[in-house]
Amino acid sequence: MSVIGVIGAGVMGVGVAQNLASTGHDVVLVDKDEKTLAAALATIERNSRMSRLMGGPALDADEILSRITTAVGAAGAAKAEIVIENVTENWDVKREVYETLDAECGPDTVFVVNTSAIPITKVAAVTGRPDKVVGVHFMNPVPAKPVVELIPGFHTSPETVERTKDLLHAMGKKAVHVKDSCGFISNRVLMLTVNEAAFLVHEGVADAASVDEVFRGCFGHPMGPLETADLIGVDTILYSVEVLYEHYADSKYRPCPLLKQMTDAGLHGRKSGRGFYTYDSN
């Protein structure tokens, strides 16, 4: 069976690796240090054991972990047939990752860009294989979200799209095709909503709980925009809004100063224990 490389062992990488392993794929999970990888495996084990309790399917945590190996550095994914990248929404970081992957991986390896905003053609341009680079915007939490955005770049070949669709189908995902446009469908709308909700708190119009209560109670949303920000990561929200602002040069994407302050203060949401809300570390 072919191996799927997963680059980045943060929130999204953990979800992608678990989803792949639970659907029968062998995975090599890659990050920059052993501590991060050990924490990722512990999270996958915990999430797998709790899946049934959280409304998901019953999963065999031991079997899932048996399909996942780990490696420090991009060279660990050198033999992967498909590599799914999940690093932070920071262009300088992503660019370095892809330049390294391009040098380490075989010429037939497909690169899947898991991004919420960065154009796929921009990523493909720093590789020597633009026809084998395609975007897939996975939603968080990955194992529980059945729909993804599938974004071919300017040079992405039909064969690359089909290979990626086959993998997504095997993962239990429905792919919605989107043209390569910064922010795609979901984040062109979601990031504006979250950013404006942050402005409401920043300006003292309402507190976070009141903003979210209106969205849940009036519009039937299961989560309010600021709860969603904490789930995704306040820092990730900020980076995504900054990408939109830079790309479109449109003032409607001007990042809320509160998002910048919270990111600088380490208030990144659930993953740090505090964001717009405070979370139990246990």
CATH code for the domain in which residue 145 is found: 3.40.50.720
User: What is the signed CA dihedral for 87, 19, 39, 237, rounded to 10 degrees?
Assistant: 40
End of a domain among 142, 177, 212? 177
Residue 247 sits in a domain whose CATH number is 1.10.1040.10
Helix axes 257-264, 186-202, angle to 10 degrees: 90
Note whether residue 278 is domain-resident: no
pLDDT at 282: 54
Q: Is 134 helix (H, G, I), strand (E, B) or coil?
A: strand
Pairing of strands 133-137, 147-152: antiparallel
Note whether residue 277 is domain-resident: no
- Please tell me what DSSP assigns to residue 28: E
For residues 148 and 136, is the Cβ–Cβ distance under 8 A? yes
Q: Which residues are annotated as a binding site for NAD(+)?
A: 8-13, 31, 89, 94, 116, 140, 271
The whole domain housing 247 covers 189-272
Residues 41 and 172 in one domain: yes
Q: Which residues are annotated as a binding site?
A: 8-13, 31, 89, 94, 116, 140, 271
Residues 193 and 159 in one domain: no
Residues 113 and 157 in one domain: yes
Note whether residue 182 is domain-resident: no
Note whether residue 98 is domain-resident: yes
**Separation between Cα atoms, residue 30 and residue 27, nearest integer Å:** 10
For residues 129 and 102, is the Cβ–Cβ distance under 8 A? yes
Give the model confidence (pLDDT) of 124-134 as tens digits: 999 999 999 99
For residues 98 and 127, is the Cβ–Cβ distance under 8 A? yes
* Residue 52 pLDDT > 90: no
Please, which residues have CB within 8 angstroms of residue 109's CB and are 6 or more apart in sequence?
Answer: 80, 81, 82, 83, 101, 129, 132
Note whether residue 22 is domain-resident: yes
Residues 53 and 140 in one domain: yes
Pairing of strands 68-72, 3-7: unpaired
Note whether residue 184 is domain-resident: no
Residues 158 and 196 in one domain: no
**Separation between Cα atoms, residue 17 and residue 132, nearest integer Å:** 21
End of a domain among 145, 177, 209? 177
Residues 239 and 117 in one domain: no
Residues 109 and 209 in one domain: no
pLDDT at 189: 95
Retrieve residue 259's tokens.
Answer: 């998002």
End of a domain among 177, 201, 223? 177
**Separation between Cα atoms, residue 55 and residue 43, nearest integer Å:** 17
Residues 126 and 257 in one domain: no
Catalytically active residues, by annotation: 116, 137, 149, 187
Rounded to a whole number of angstroms, the distance between the first and last alpha carbons of the chain is 37
**Separation between Cα atoms, residue 98 and residue 101, nearest integer Å:** 5
Count of structural domains within the chain: 2
* Residue 281 pLDDT > 90: no
Cα-based angle 259, 86, 278 (whole degrees, multiple of 5): 40
Residues 110 and 206 in one domain: no
Residues 170 and 266 in one domain: no
pLDDT at 54: 77
Give the model confidence (pLDDT) of 160-206 as tens digits: 999 999 999 999 999 999 999 999 999 999 999 999 999 999 999 99
For residues 101 and 74, is the Cβ–Cβ distance under 8 A? yes
Give the model confidence (pLDDT) of 204-231 as tens digits: 999 999 999 999 999 999 999 999 999 9
Residue type for 254, please? R
Note whether residue 281 is domain-resident: no
Residues 115 and 7 in one domain: yes
Q: Average pLDDT for residues 239-262, to the nearest whole number?
A: 96
Residues 267 and 162 in one domain: no
The rounded percent of the chain whose pLDDT value lies above 70 is 99
pLDDT at 55: 79
Name which of 189, 190, 225 is nearest 209 in CA terms.
Answer: 225
**Separation between Cα atoms, residue 108 and residue 215, nearest integer Å:** 46
- Please tell me what DSSP assigns to residue 131: G
Mean pLDDT of the residues in the chain:
95
Tell me the pTM.
Answer: 0.88
